């Protein structure tokens, strides 16, 4: 992947160490230096720094290095260099608070909760690694280095795509705890020996669960439809918990897996080594956890992505042709066509790369969105009726803001892959593509005849990335998984608890997002190291990535903060005990924090040397100067209408990643597949239906 790349990690932020670790997993040679030491940059290709947390001398050295243009310099800071907040040494917890990320986590009737892992640092590390790989590709191909800026503030904002649509319309965003705002039943329920997450998303899943529970009360008209169940969820959940509380967690999970309903236990981080899928996939890390406490570097024993030849090594080498070939081998002009092909962003780091995306909602679409912003041509394959998320509310002109945010700069086609002609059309596209990324259930493509062996025959040079909840090699080969279940089964919910100690999921789809980010990095790294004709398989288990993040958090605990209610919202304070808060009360006799405004309480805390920031609500984020100037962007659809978009959280100085357009509506077009579509540039890329 990145063999031969030499990395110097020279910064105090967690994201610096984590990004270096990721690059090391991809084959780079990494040296982690003391951030306070003097460094020589000779012999390195990349230097990763955190200038906002550096000494003045180190900051001056970083500035000089950036100006030299001799190395790839990746600077990971809390906010963008143009931000009014740039001078502050903001922590992950403070960034979660001031971006609205914290406001989305917690129970409806409770206080906002900080995510129990340094989410913005981890997210910044993953995006930084992907941006470094992209810059390395440019360096190898075109011979010039460039600077990269990565912002924790922007990473947090990028994770808010579920909530930004309502914020765009100035609607209030409510915390939902472990529920789902549009599905029910979907919650954490008590069992005989713990907790279980049960998540239903279709009427068929509800019908099967209702039959399994066998409780006549569930036939009530209040639960007859999805909308009714969501509206009456407070009445529904007690019936589900009355059933689950009579079973063990394992019994609940086994029954749900049998009927195709996503479910999983809330796994304590200290017992992660006993979780069957984690133990199967990461025996070294499991043994290390079993042998003692989770250490500072235990996380490094977990690989957040896996890569293999498109087939096994022996078959790959024995069958590899002397010259690259595709399914459309009769097209002798393929290589020339690849070199001449221009993506939507000609200046991008991935110009000339074609990507096929088959997925929905968050993970695969996130990957495709970033590959497109980096310059690749991304073709999104949707079902005939289009992805369900197209129709979610709110939106405009019949398209949801959520879908628009997650699918910028892509070409959309609609195919019914159960129809032979549509499947052949997809195969022809794959023969002319560089990357396939999908987040279907494991084995779904294989059932259509597109297993790894077939994909290798179609295109020996293809990079195929599969994203799933538990991976291809799994203790749960048939278990469906949602983000909520993965948060539960990776330790993330155990680490994220409210003031009463109750486990709660991150409001943002943390497992989905982190899984997509890991896939993005692995794909770009494969594009850097790929030799012509050497197809690769990238396997992403969302549980792997989330567990990697949780083990880092457990082994490298951050300072705790307190959430304090005020008259106009909440404040997040780095006050570690109630005694310090009582000191604040004594400064205003007869008054309590609840009677103060956030600004007043923050001023009083800071006068006592206690750092504090407001917990910004999502609707307030729309008025934040940094968000408006450095994060929010605007794009257009094919009809010329304007759409709010979010800029990339990483900025490459010479090959910038850009968001520009919103996907068009799907229009019915006849698939006319014939043998004449053999060459790269003759395959029609249009919205497709077959009558």
Alpha carbons within 13 angstroms on the beta-carbon side of residue 263 total 26
Please answer whether residues 556 and 483 qualify as being in contact, where contact means their C-beta atoms are separated by less than 8 angstroms.
Answer: no
434 is catalytic: no
Active-site position among 512, 544, 626, 630: 512
Length in residues, the chain: 691
Q: Is 38 left (phi over 0), alpha (psi -120 to 50) or beta?
A: beta
Q: If residue 7 lies in a helix (H) or strand (E), which one and from where to where?
A: strand 6-10
- What are residue 378's DSSP bridge partners? 355, 410
Query: How far is 450 from 339, CA to CA, in rounded Å?
Result: 27
| 257 CB-contact burial (10 Å; exposed 0-12 / middle 13-18 / buried 19+) | middle
The sign of the dihedral angle between the CA atoms of 492, 496, 500, 502 is: negative
Q: If residue 400 lies in a helix (H) or strand (E), which one and from where to where?
A: strand 399-400
3-state SS, 516-585, equals HHHHHHHHHHHHHHCCCCCCEEEEEEHHHHHHHHHHHHHHCCCCCCEEEEECCEEEEECCCCHHHHHHHH
| 498 CB-contact burial (10 Å; exposed 0-12 / middle 13-18 / buried 19+) | middle
Question: Would you tell me how many other CB atoms lie within 10 Å of the CB of residue 490?
Answer: 32
Query: How far is 460 from 444, CA to CA, in rounded Å?
Result: 21
Q: Is the peptide bond before 298 cis (omega within 30 degrees of 0)?
A: no
- What are residue 73's DSSP bridge partners? 47, 147
Cα distance between the two ends of the chain: 44
> In whole angstroms, what separates CA 668 from the centre of its chain?
32
Q: If residue 412 lies in a helix (H) or strand (E), which one and from where to where?
A: strand 410-414
Question: Would you tell me how many other CB atoms lie within 10 Å of the CB of residue 431?
Answer: 25
The pairing of beta strand 354-358 with beta strand 377-382: parallel
56: phi then psi, degrees, rounded to nearest 5: -60, -40
The residues assigned a catalytic role are 512
């Amino acid at each position: 992947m990145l063999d031969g790349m030499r990395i110097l990690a020279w910064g105090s932020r967690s994201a610096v160490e984590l990004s270096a670790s990721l690059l090391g997993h991809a084959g780079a040679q990494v040296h982690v230096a003391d951030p306070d030491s003097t460094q020589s940059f000779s012999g390195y290709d990349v230097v990763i720094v955190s200038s906002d947390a550096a000494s003045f001398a180190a900051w001056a050295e970083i500035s000089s290095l950036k100006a030299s243009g001799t190395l790839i310099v990746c600077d990971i800071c809390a906010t963008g260099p143009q931000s009014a907040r740039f001078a502050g040494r903001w922590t992950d917890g403070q960034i979660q608070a001031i971006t609205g990320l914290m406001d989305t986590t917690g129970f409806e009737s409770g206080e906002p909760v900080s995510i129990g892992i340094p989410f913005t640092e981890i997210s910044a590390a993953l995006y930084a690694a992907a941006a470094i790989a992209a810059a390395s590709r440019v360096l190898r191909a075109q011979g010039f280095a460039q600077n990269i800026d990565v912002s924790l503030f922007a990473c947090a904002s990028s994770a808010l795509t579920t909530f930004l649509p309502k914020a765009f319309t100035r609607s209030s965003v409510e915390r939902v705890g472990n529920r789902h705002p549009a599905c029910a039943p979907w919650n954490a329920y008590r069992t005989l020996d713990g907790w279980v997450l049960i998540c239903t998303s279709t009427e068929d899943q509800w019908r099967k669960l209702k039959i399994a529970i066998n409780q006549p009360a569930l036939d009530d008209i209040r639960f007859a439809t999805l909308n009714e169940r969501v509206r009456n969820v407070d009445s529904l959940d007690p019936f589900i918990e009355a059933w689950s509380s009579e079973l063990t967690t394992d019994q609940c999970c086994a029954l749900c897996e049998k009927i195709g309903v996503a479910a999983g236990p809330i796994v304590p981080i200290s017992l992660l080594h006993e979780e069957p899928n984690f133990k199967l996939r990461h025996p070294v890390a499991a043994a290390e956890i079993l042998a003692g406490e989770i250490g500072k570097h235990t996380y490094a024993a977990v690989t957040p992505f896996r890569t293999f030849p498109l087939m096994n090594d022996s078959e790959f080498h024995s069958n590899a042709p002397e010259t690259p070939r595709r399914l459309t081998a009769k097209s002798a002009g393929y290589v020339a066509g690849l070199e001449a092909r221009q993506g939507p962003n000609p200046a991008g780091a991935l110009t000339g790369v074609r990507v096929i995306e088959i997925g929905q909602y968050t993970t695969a679409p996130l990957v495709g969105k970033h590959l497109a912003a980096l310059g690749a041509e991304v073709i999104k394959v949707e079902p005939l009726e289009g992805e369900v998320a197209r129709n979610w509310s709110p939106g405009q002109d019949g398209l949801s803001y959520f879908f628009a945010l997650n699918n910028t700069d892509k070409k959309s086609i609609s195919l019914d892959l159960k129809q032979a002609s549509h499947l052949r059309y997809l195969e022809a596209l794959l023969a002319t593509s560089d990357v396939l990324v999908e987040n279907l259930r494991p084995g779904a493509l294989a059932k259509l005849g597109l297993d790894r062996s077939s994909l290798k025959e179609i295109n020996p040079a293809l990079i195929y990335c599969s994203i799933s909840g538990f991976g291809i090699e799994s203790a749960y080969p048939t278990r469906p998984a949602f983000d909520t279940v993965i948060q539960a089964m990776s330790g993330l919910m155990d680490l994220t608890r409210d003031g009463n100690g109750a486990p709660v999921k991150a409001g943002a789809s943390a497992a989905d997002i982190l899984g997509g980010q890991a896939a993005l990095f692995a794909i770009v790294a494969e594009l850097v190291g790929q030799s012509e004709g050497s197809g690769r398989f990238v396997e992403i288990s969302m549980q792997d990535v989330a567990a990697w993040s949780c083990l880092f958090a457990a082994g490298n605990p951050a300072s705790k903060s307190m959430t304090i209610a005020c008259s106009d919202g909440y404040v997040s304070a780095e006050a570690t005990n109630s005694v310090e808060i009582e000191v604040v009360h004594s400064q205003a006799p007869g008054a309590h924090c609840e009677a103060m405004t956030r600004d007043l309480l923050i001023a009083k805390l800071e006068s006592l040397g206690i750092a504090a920031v407001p917990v910004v609500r999502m609707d307030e984020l729309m008025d934040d100067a940094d968000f408006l100037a450095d994060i929010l962007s605007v794009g257009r659809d094919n009809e010329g209408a304007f759409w709010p978009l979010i800029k990339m959280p990483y900025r490459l100085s010479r090959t910038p990643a850009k968001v520009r357009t919103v996907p068009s509506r799907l229009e019915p077009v006849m698939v006319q597949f014939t043998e004449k579509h053999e060459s790269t540039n003759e395959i029609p890329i249009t919205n497709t239906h077959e009558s």
